[in-house]
Amino acid sequence: MQNADTVLGVLRERGRQGLPLERLYRQLFNEQLFLVAYGRIYANDGAMTAGVDGQTPDGMSLGTIQEIIGRLRAEREVGAAWAALAPLAGDERTPVRLGTLDALASFSRHPGGGDELLAQAIDWLELDDREVRFGAAGVVVEVFADRQALAALAEPETLLDYLSRAIAAVASASRAAERSEARRRLLLALPRTLAAVAAGLRAGDRGAAWLEEECRGARHPDVRGALSKTVLILADKSSGQGAALAQGLRAALEGSAKPPRDPTRIRPGAARGRSSRPMR
């Protein structure tokens, strides 16, 4: 560990020369710098007056300094671990991706775990690497298909906000991105999770109301396809959900469909392809 006077001298000289300072975070782990700071504060008039937290500098000790450094070091290591998880979640190799999914799902079942995951995952939606961005989102979405993960959430609205962002990312993808394998995995993960959110989110009927809003605003064909599959899951008798919920979502989705150019000239089933088939 470098001497505090040496470190401060180097920093002072580089500042005087207008040179950049790098890796300053490491100096937060230097005990001697804490002792120097303590010495300067302790000598001030009024140093023995308690602050809003009731503490005064005379309560400082080497043990306290080491405890502070330990917390800072742990926070840095946790941040590095989260940063490493994004590329693992977005990895194209199935064993890597499934292993990451299993770890995140287990973590999210504990109180506060899902909320912490969402806090990090929102930043992952801004990653430059398209495949990692969509791939990681697909894994995060899949995590919350688990009822235990949903039940452990302290702030359900955070999940709804994340899902809205993920859906928007799918809809706003470029033509080239529409052929992305990672984006396809995200679309496949959405229906089960959206159905779980609508039926079991611990926030009254907020999940169902949110999903109905998404159905009303859906325009992109891929997003509409994922929402249509969600309605089918909810309508399935084996899922244990009421028909009224599925019916309401179906009506909202049908209401947001793009109208035909001349609806008076269309006969059901007369045209070719998917567009002429009745909506599920």
Q: Write the pLDDT tens digit of every residue in 47-100.
A: 666 666 666 656 567 777 777 767 666 655 556 677 778 888 888 888 888 889
Does residue 44 surpass a pLDDT of 90? no
Q: Note whether residue 65 is domain-resident.
A: no
Element (H, E) at 100: helix 94-108
Specify whether the backbone of 55 is left (phi greater than 0), alpha (psi in -120 to 50) or beta.
beta
Structural domain including 92 reads 77-258
Residue 11 confidence class, pLDDT cut points 50, 70, 90: confident
Cα–Cα distance measured from residue 212 to residue 233, given in angstroms and rounded to the nearest whole number: 15
Average predicted confidence (pLDDT) for the chain: 81
Do both 85 and 43 map to the same domain? no
Q: Which of 60, 86, 106 is the last residue of a domain?
A: 60
DSSP 176: T
Co-location of 177 and 119 in the same domain: yes
* The model scores a pTM over 0.85: no
For the chain, how many structural domains are there in total? 2
Residue 275 lies in a domain: no
Closest CA to 24 of 39, 36, 38, 14: 14
Tokens (6 digits) for 16: 């005087």
Same domain, 125 and 251: yes
Same domain, 195 and 118: yes
User: Looking at the domain assignment, is residue 274 inside a domain?
Assistant: no
The CA–CA distances, whole Å, from 49 to 40, 41, 52, 56, 63 equal 15, 12, 10, 6, 22
Clarify whether residues 205 and 85 are in a common domain: yes
Same domain, 99 and 208: yes
122 occurs within a structural domain: yes
Q: Are 112 and 99 in contact (CB under 8 A)?
A: no
Whether residue 278 is predicted with pLDDT greater than 50 in this model: the reply is no
